Amino acid sequence: MKSTRMSRRAFVGTTLAAGALAAAGVRPATAAAVPRAPSPPLPPLDPAALGAVVGDLEHPPSTAARLSVGGTDGDWYGASGVADIRTGRPVTPHDKVRIGSITKVFVATVVLQLVAEGRVGLDTPVRRVLPELLPAGFAPVTVAHLLDHTSGLPDHVGVPEPRTAEEVFRHRFDHWTPGEWVATATQGPPKFAPGTRQEYRGVNYVLAALLVDRLTGRPYEEAVTARVLRPLELAHTVMPGDDPRIRGHHAHGYLTTADGRLRDITVYDQSSSRGEGDMISTPGDLDRMLSALFSGVLLPADLLELMFTLPPAEVLMLDGSPARYSTGLQRAVVNGVTLWGKTGETYGYRNAAFSTRDRRRRFTLAHHPTGVRDGAEGQLAARVADLLTRARPAAAP
């Protein structure tokens, strides 16, 4: 079987009902228990510059872009482009999108909640819970190794990555079970001993979702809904399961074909991304989730701290660069300002949700590049992060 797997190696305050959290089995920490180191001075927002960035749908070629900036240091929202090129309907704040790997933030949160409840340990070998999925000859891969991408699992075998729009459309309805997908990444020897290197791999979170299935006795989709979506009232966030469509108001994704036409790729089988990239949401809901998570209402302080902790300094990426992924999040240091969050992409959709740890500055970006792995997908997020963290020159006296 072939898959339209794509590379993912590229860049609100919340009022909660205590009863809803308790019903979901969440034991939150008090906000005071969460360490909050202040971020460096942040520049004032530049609405004209932000508007120019969001309005540029040529770098990279895109059909729409939305940017929401929040936090105690100022708010801003801007959008450009259309949600549907057939009707010309402008994109709105409430249009749903595929959020790709931002799904991992939700899954990591639920796994850490299960750790807090004593239902699994971070040092528990995955084979103890899912004995049928990882070969007995592998060195023990633990829950922690999955969550911070230090598992060392082999590369996928027999899973081509499409390089043209035509190849994407040819395989858009290929369907995988989670077990079939994991099996493609267990056929060779491990790439490194678990915990010694870091390599960003979606299959880690496919396994993490399967852990949630087994530990809770219910599909991971139900666990995320009960433990995160419902308590936070994320009404526009969807666990699609096997449904390849996006229900309700949404922004369409498109790819440019060889003849220069834009072809709609919105309807797409996400089965190979279950638990690592299959969720649907809106920028507003993603901001609400990140703000709630960072404020400490979803996790005890010691486990939340793991989301802001990179592996030890000696654990490097495969290319020799420093590790940049923590438990469920990734770190980006831009102009001396440390941002934590996650990027996410799938064909026709590119997203970023980041915040300073103290939540003084947050941003969520949803845009719709039309290329297929052309290396330009991360340009817009990089420009936004630069604008939101770069000090402006002082005015001449």
For 269-327, write each residue's pLDDT tens digit.
999 999 999 999 999 999 999 999 999 999 999 999 999 999 999 999 999 999 999 99
pLDDT mean across residues, the chain: 90
> Using CA atoms, how far apart are residues 57 and 347, in angstroms rounded to an integer?
17
Q: Supply the DSSP string of 286-348, one letter for each residue.
A: HHHHHHHHHHTSSS-HHHHHHTT-PPPTT-EETTSPBP-B-SS-EEEEETTEEEEEEEEEETT
Tell me, yes or no, whether 1 lies in a domain.
Answer: no
CA 11 – CA 279 distance, rounded (Å): 19
Decide if 31 is inside a domain: no
Judged against a pLDDT cut of 50, whether residue 19 lies above it is answered with no
The position carrying tokens 């052309």 is 374
Residue 104 in contact with residue 328, Cβ under 8 Å?
yes
pTM of the model: 0.90
Q: Are 69 and 77 in contact (CB under 8 A)?
A: yes
* Residue that is written with structure tokens 């654990």 in the block: 315
| Domain housing 84 | 43-389
In the chain, % of residues over pLDDT 90: 84
For residue 228, tell me if it sits in a domain. Answer: yes
Band of residue 388 on the pLDDT scale cut at 50, 70, 90: very high
Asked whether residue 6 is domain-assigned, the answer is no
* Owner of token pair 């969550």: 147
| 249, two tokens | 């108001």
Give the per-residue pLDDT at 6: 35
| Of the candidates 303, 367, 8, 317, the residue with the CA atom closest to the CA atom of residue 152 | 317
The whole-number pLDDT of residue 20 equals: 40
pLDDT given for residue 38 in this prediction: 61
Residue 15 lies in a domain: no
CA distance 205 to 214: 14
Pairing mode, if any, of strands 330-334 and 337-346?
A: antiparallel
Q: What are phi and psi of 186, to 5 degrees?
A: -130, 15
- Residue 63 domain-assigned? yes
Task: Give the DSSP per-residue string, 161-230.
Answer: ---SHHHHHHTTT----HHHHHHTTSSS--SS-TTSEE---THHHHHHHHHHHHHHTS-HHHHHIIIIIH
Report CA-CA distances (Å) from 148 to 131, 143, 155.
21, 9, 17
User: Tell me, what's the pLDDT at 57?
Assistant: 96
- In the prediction, which pLDDT does 375 show? 67
Count structural domains, the chain: 1
Structural tokens at position 169: 């459309």
Residue 113 belongs to what H/E stretch?
helix 103-116
Mean pLDDT, residues 104-116 taken together: 98
**Chain segment 324-338, per-residue pLDDT in tens:** 999 999 999 999 999
- Is the residue at 146 inside a domain? yes
Q: What is the mean pLDDT of residues 355-363?
A: 96
- 160 confidence band (pLDDT: 50, 70, 90): confident
Q: Which helix (H) or strand (E) segment is 365 a member of?
A: strand 362-369
Under the banding of pLDDT at 50, 70 and 90, the label for residue 397 is low
Q: What CATH number has the domain bearing residue 72?
A: 3.40.710.10
Beta bridge partners of 264: 254
Q: Is 202 a member of any domain? A: yes
Across the range 155-164, mean pLDDT stands at 89
Of the pLDDT bands very low, low, confident and very high (cuts 50, 70, 90), residue 34 is: very low
